[in-house]
Structure 1
């Protein structure tokens, strides 16, 4: 069971990225470079991105449970699954509560974000993901460093830094910063790919090892 739960961490990232990439490429009026991934859940075709949030979130939560089972109560293990679990819960919440229109999508809506209660809940849930994942990267960076696995530790730190940096650039784009508004969607996608690639690598490392740093 533990190995099956860890394997969920391998699947979550590639599945999530594949669905939002394909959906964004074929959606009329949707510009992947400009518009956020969450906007794919709007309009009548939005069910596929909603399902994408829910499935990927469930897979990340399962992965966090697998990490907990693998590491048990070893030194420092208790903190590491929870940021991963929070990231999964964040994706689940993003699927349950639709975002508000921004940057002119769906067509005919204003560029500026105007919050509704559901949209505010969507962003609050998303923050669990966008904060939980880099915290998990940093927690595992320390864990790898204790085991003198310097490459994996450095990769985890770099992933956290890139993830947060790209996320901030995306946020500025969605806030209609003139120099970034046309690339907000690109920066968000790069952030997601960086973070979810790390979860895939982590799952592969844990499946090949024995829970020791």
Structure 2
């Protein structure tokens, strides 16, 4: 094998590994979320956002969840970007996906405030927001809006390439997440909105993992 062949193989392997990081991110986030619900019975998905699990004695698990899956998402976005040539439709998609990953990491750095009786010892009516809590919401908003925009950017790229199924899937994911985010952002603590947002998060992660897996299967030896 020549040096050029070895370099090409190395680039191919790197791209595939980056994309595999993106594939793993979704299942890992959801699995750790479900695991925490099982070991922290005072958490109520109809009242509490998953992000408040960053508080309490076991808060390090959710902090790790945000950090690791955020980094994996960024790596997956880099892998996709390596496959999209400059000037082609959808080159901003990986950037928006990467911003979502950065939003997750920022959410770990600036954790949400304890609220509504969680973790144990927090007043049942607690709704105070600290500076750190505000920064958490900002990080979340930037990440979520970037994700939504990314869905539509990728959808445009897929439609332009006559991949109608993937285009529809991407649009549907963006619309579902946008609707759920609008509901949760409207406030009021409606249990239906809280559950709908949790479901939308799972839908979003499924799309990210599927997207990275799709691109991984398209890796050619010269990538």
By the TM > 0.5 criterion, same fold? yes
Q: Does the CA contact (< 8 Å) of 1:171 and 1:184 recur in 2?
A: no
1:152 counterpart residue number: 166
- For structure 2, the 5+ residue unaligned runs are 1-13
Contact 1:170 1:183 in 2 (8 A): no
Q: Residue 135 of structure 1: CA displacement?
A: 1.0
Pair 184,105 (structure 1): closer, same or farther in 2 beyond 3 Å: farther
1:34 aligned counterpart, secondary structure: coil
For the Cα contact (< 8 Å) 2:115–2:126, is it kept in 1?
A: yes
Equivalent residue, structure 2, for 1:209 = 218
Distance 1:64 1:78, change over 3 A: same
| Residue number in structure 2 paired with 1:193 | 202
Please report how far the alpha carbon of residue 77 of structure 1 lies from its aligned counterpart in structure 2 after TM superposition: 4.3
- Runs of 5+ in structure 1 lacking a partner? none
The match for 2:154 among 120, 126, 140 is 140
Equivalent residue of 2:91, what SS?
helix
Instruction: Report if the CA contact (8 A) 1:34-1:184 is conserved.
Output: no
- Range that drifts further, 40-49 or 71-80: 71-80
Match of 1:69 among 82, 86, 102: 82
Give the structure with higher Rg (CA): 2
**TM-score, L = length of structure 2:** 0.86
Verify: 1:104 aligned to 2:117, yes or no.
yes
Alignment root-mean-square deviation, CA: 1.7
Cα distance in 2 for partners of 1:110, 1:117 equals 21
Is the contact between residue 15 and residue 56 of structure 1 (CA under 8 Å) also seen in structure 2? yes
SS at match of 1:104: coil
Q: Kindly indicate whether the alpha-carbon contact (under 8 Å) linking 2:19 and 2:215 is maintained by their aligned counterparts in 1.
A: yes
Alignment match, 1:171:
185
Do 2:102 and 2:143's aligned partners in 1 also have CA atoms closer than 8 Å? yes
State the structure with bigger RCO (CA 8 A, min sep 6), 1 or 2: 2
Distance 1:118 1:15 in 2: 26
Partner of 1:15: 28
Q: State how far apart, in whole Å, the 2-side matches of 1:71 and 1:104 are.
A: 47
Spell out the pairing of 1:44-83 with structure 2 (5 A cutoff).
44-83=57-96
- State how far apart, in whole Å, the 2-side matches of 1:41 and 1:149 are: 39
- Please, what TM-score do these two structures have when normalized by structure 1? 0.90
> 1:34, 1:183 within 8 Å by CA — same for their partners in 2?
no
Following the alignment from structure 1 to structure 2, what is the Cα–Cα distance between the partners of residues 8 and 192? 18
